[in-house]
């Protein structure tokens, strides 16, 4: 098992990353997944899919911007059916729970690790349609064929879906793939103490309340994933 620093685990450094070009865009990814990811992309091309990445590494400060915008009401908070909630009617802890269904806490996003990717097939996206990253797109919509291929093929390259089922924490995300071994190692090292230390040094909207409920939030939303390790 590789040892990771607090900064690597919480999105405060890029020292564990390398660059990968997919299509016309360059992405930061964990250096250990470069080869298996390239293999998956090549296989997609062979099988007729234009493999594309919607999101890869996201640092702490970018995650905090997303969180703060939702907590302050500048961006909508969605319910379980992707419909906007009236955040003014929610208590702070209810607001935190609702945000965490779809967006991770700063420092606790798996996207900090570089081994997590939101993916789609560009050639399956209808002309003039923007990708929304909503479950229906992958279940019955334009990404359904790609989603089926992804489920059948990615295990051969060491990837899986950590949010393939609703376990009462993060909502189902059929677009979010994880490199099994790397993601497992990093989650094992992301302790509650590490998060509390990071939040104290890098506060965000509602971080004091998050810290007060840290144990239950960690159990429900951070460690509560579908395991890809046998």
**CATH number of residue 63's parent domain:** 3.30.1380.10
The total of structural domains in the chain comes to 1
For residue 59, the enclosing domain spans 6-222
What mean pLDDT value characterizes the chain? Answer: 96
Paired sense of beta strands 25-30 and 51-55, if any: unpaired
Q: Is the pLDDT of residue 1 over 90?
A: no
Q: What is the mean pLDDT of residues 209-226?
A: 98
Q: Does a structural domain hold residue 67?
A: yes
Q: Does a structural domain hold residue 104?
A: yes
Q: Report pTM.
A: 0.95
In this prediction, residue 2 has a pLDDT band, given cuts at 50, 70 and 90, of confident
Query: 198 with 6: CB under 8 angstroms?
Result: yes
Q: Does a structural domain hold residue 228?
A: no
| Torsion sign across C-alpha atoms 71, 77, 80, 86 | positive
Residue 59 phi, psi dihedral angles, 5° rounding: -80, 175
Q: How many CA atoms lie within 13 A of 139 on its CB side?
A: 8
pLDDT score of 230: 46
Q: Does a structural domain hold residue 229?
A: no
Q: Does a structural domain hold residue 1?
A: no
Q: Does a structural domain hold residue 46?
A: yes
How far apart are the C-alpha atoms of 77 and 192, rounded to whole Å?
A: 25
| Torsion sign across C-alpha atoms 173, 177, 181, 184 | negative
Q: What is the pLDDT of residues 71-130, one digit of tens each?
A: 999 999 988 888 899 988 999 999 999 999 999 999 999 999 999 999 999 999 999 999
- Give the helix ranges, DSSP H, for the chain: 6-9, 34-46, 60-71, 92-100, 135-139, 144-153, 180-189, 192-201, 207-212, 214-217
């Amino acid at each position: 098992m590789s040892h990771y620093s607090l900064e690597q685990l919480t999105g405060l450094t890029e020292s564990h990353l390398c660059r990968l070009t997919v299509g016309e865009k360059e992405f930061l990814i964990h250096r250990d997944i470069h080869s298996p990811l390239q293999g998956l992309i090549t296989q997609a091309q062979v099988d007729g899919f234009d493999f594309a990445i919607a999101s890869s590494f996201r640092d702490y400060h970018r995650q905090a911007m997303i969180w703060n915008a939702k907590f302050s009401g500048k961006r909508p908070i969605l319910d379980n059916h992707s419909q906007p909630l009236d955040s003014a009617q929610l208590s702070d802890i209810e607001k935190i729970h609702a945000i965490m269904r779809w967006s991770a806490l700063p420092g606790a996003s798996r996207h900090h690790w570089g081994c997590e990717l939101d993916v789609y097939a560009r050639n399956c996206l209808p002309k003039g349609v923007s990708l929304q990253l909503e479950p229906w797109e992958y279940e019955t919509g334009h990404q359904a064929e790609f989603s089926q291929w992804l489920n059948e093929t990615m295990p051969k390259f060491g990837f899986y879906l950590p949010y393939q089922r609703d376990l009462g924490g993060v909502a189902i995300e059929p677009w979010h793939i994880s490199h099994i071994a790397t993601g497992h190692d990093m989650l094992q090292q992301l302790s509650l103490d590490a998060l509390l230390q990071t939040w104290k040094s890098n506060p965000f909207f509602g971080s004091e309340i998050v810290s007060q409920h840290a144990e239950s939030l960690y159990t429900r939303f951070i460690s509560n994933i579908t395991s890809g390790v046998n």
